[in-house]
Amino acid sequence: MAKILIIGAGVSGLSAGIYARLNGHDATICEKHFNAGGNLTGWQRGEYHVDNCIHWLTGTNPATQDYKTWCDLGALGSVNVYQGETLYTFEQDGLRLSLNKDLEVIKEDMLNASPLDEKEIKAFISAVKTVQGIMGIAGKNHDKKSGVAAKLTALPTLIKYNGITTGELALKFYSPLIQNFITSLMGEEFSAMALIVVFATFCGENGGIPEGSSVGMAKRMENRFKELGGKLYLKKEAVNIKYENGVATQVEFSDNTTLPADYIVIATDPEIAYHKLLKQPMPKQLTQYYAQNTRFSSYQCAFACDKSELPFSADFIFEIPKKYKAKLRTKNLIIREFSHEKSFAPKGKNIIQTLTFCSEKDARDFIKLRKDKEKYEEKKGKIAQLIVEIIEDKFPTLKGKLTLLDVWTPATYNRYTGAETGSFMGFILPAKTIPHTLDNKVKNLNNVILATQWLQSPGGLPIAAKVGKAAIETINKKEKALQRA
């Protein structure tokens, strides 16, 4: 049994902690924030709950491997999962297209929207089915036994869609509605394969929302860790890792305390891991990832409103009018409503949240601006005002009916999780790359392991769970090697 100290109680850190205990190790997690969960979080604003994270959780289909992992982690298994009719709907000029849970409905809707695009629509739908068949992400009703022959047959499809971005995929269609439906969820830079995986997952009933959403899931994971005998320290910020002769000996905290450990798992953003805690340059491969791959963040607003007033459900995306585009430096607005979470708002009320993606540069500007609290608050106020105007413009029935609950930005993420540009997913998965996991070992330090979503693009909750588990598997191997020596 090894004594493992984990820095960071996001999903990666909680996963490392739970798997450490399941493997019989002594596990302690130290988290700088006042609660566990990292980005998997939410907060109260009066009688309303603002949810920060789960739009879809890959792994809610019990026939998948991810589901088993979530059950190990206490995240699923004991709660209801909400599986909506649609994941998102895009609207343009009064016409709508949705990522419906039934792939045949999507096909019909796309064909009705643009008969001219029949060939490309059928190819796209067939690609989604191919991915469901070979990847094990769509549960027993969709996944087929995929031997070598099936994989070889699927190869041309995989190559075609892996080789282009979502923006390039969109241009294969004549219909502007389909083009924007394709790019509206993830933007134009992701590999088209990433979008196909999202379709394959949701249509495989494998992308639901567990009851209680983000905070509910974080709490269940925290409880699981504690019930297994793990120790969790909150408001405990690691500031330095002491090491000598290739061995890390202890972690120093901002409250001037130290904790010793046989192994240290760093479950934070790599910038914090290398530049703050280890005080050494990032390895070449990770440096290249930072230089070559894009990251994104977002700013968001939450509003209270009456339940009866909403002219959309689930996630709804639309192109914002030209006059607002330059001011918000974005093309689309994503709005969500939370009628599936009855406890998030008082009876008869609902919450809507808007999400606007922003570039790394804009994210850095937010972070810089926050140093001047007054100007930062002023900017947030202006954003909220513009967002209200856009929503009222789009849905006149909501005029005067929205009450602002909160505005949060990349500076919020930077402050709470420490992510350098406030980014909350990993690197954007570019075209022509096959997702692979970066090495979790730290050069010249045998007992320090990384566990962060940044080890595999595009990050997200299942990757965070996976890297936490992998950190403990690495430690197990090291322990076995020590016993043999």
Query: What residues make contact with ligand FAD under the rule CB under 6 A?
Result: 7-13, 30-33, 38-40, 52-57, 237-238, 267-268, 272, 417-419, 424-425, 452-453, 459-461, 464
Half-sphere exposure of 123 (CA within 13 A, CB side): 14
**Pairing outcome for strands 445-450 and 263-266:** parallel
483 CB-near residues (< 8 Å, 6+ apart): none
| Alpha-carbon dihedral angle through residues 73, 75, 76, 78, given to the nearest 10 degrees | 100
Please name the residues in contact with 407: beta carbons below 8 A apart, sequence gap of 6 or more.
Answer: 299, 300, 301, 302, 380, 381, 383, 384
Shortest Å distance, C-beta 214 to ligand FAD: 8
Amino acid, res. 74 = G
**Separation of CA 303 from chain center:** 22
> Minimum CB separation from ligand FAD for residue 40, in Å?
5
Residue 181 or 454 having the CB closest to ligand FAD: 454
Residue 28 CB, shortest distance to ligand FAD, in Å, is 12
Residue 300 phi/psi, 5° resolution?
-140, 155
Rounded to whole angstroms, how far apart are CA atoms 386 and 357?
15
Instruction: Write down the least CB distance from residue 189 to ligand FAD, Å.
Output: 17
Closest CB to ligand FAD among residues 8, 84: 8
CA angle 359/195/74 to nearest 5° reads: 90
CB of 385 to ligand FAD, least distance (A): 21
CB neighbours of residue 310 within 10 Å: 18
Place of tokens 């999962």: 81
Which structure tokens are listed for 154?
């699927």
Output 38 or 84, the one with its CB closest to ligand FAD: 38
Q: Smaller CB distance to ligand FAD: residue 108 or 271?
A: 271
CA angle 124, 114, 110 (to 5 degrees): 45
Nearer to ligand FAD, 272 or 402 (CB): 272
In angstroms, give the least distance from the CB of 461 to ligand FAD. 3
Q: Would you say how long the chain is, in residues?
A: 485
Nearer to ligand FAD, 84 or 459 (CB): 459
Closer by beta carbon to ligand FAD, 299 or else 395? 299
CB of 360 to ligand FAD, least distance (A): 15
As to burial, measured by CB atoms within 10 angstroms (0-12 exposed, 13-18 middle, 19+ buried), residue 63 is: middle
Question: Which of residues 127 and 455 has its CB atom nearest to ligand FAD in the complex?
Answer: 455
Is the Cβ of residue 92 or residue 330 nearer to ligand FAD in the bound state? Answer: 330
Q: Which residue has the tokens 């994941």?
A: 87
State the nearest-atom distance from the C-beta of 117 to ligand FAD, in Å: 28
User: In sequence order, what are the beta bridge partners of 411?
Assistant: none
In the complex, least distance from residue 288 CB atom to ligand FAD, rounded to whole angstroms: 20
